[in-house]
Amino acid sequence: MTSQAPNKLQRSLMRLDEAPAFMRGFVQNIILRRAVPFTGTAGVKFVSLTPERVEVHLANERRVQNHIGGVHASAMNLLAETATGMVVGMNVRDDCLPLAKELSMAFKKRATGGLKAVATLTAEQRAAMLASDKGEVQVKVTVTDEAGVEPVECVFTWAWVPSSRPPKN
- Mean pLDDT, residues 28-48 taken together: 74
- What is the spatial distance between Cα 160 and Cα 99, in angstroms, rounded to a whole number? 6
Region 71-76: what's the mean pLDDT?
91
pLDDT mean over 65-79:
90
Residue of 140, 82, 139, 150 lying closest to 115 (CA atoms): 150
What does the pLDDT read at residue 14? 72
Q: Tell me, what's the pLDDT at 108?
A: 94
pLDDT at site 164: 78
What pLDDT, in 10s, does the model give residues 95-116? Answer: 999 999 999 999 999 999 999 9
Nearest to 58 by CA among 67, 49, 74, 27: 74
SS3 of residue 70 by DSSP: coil
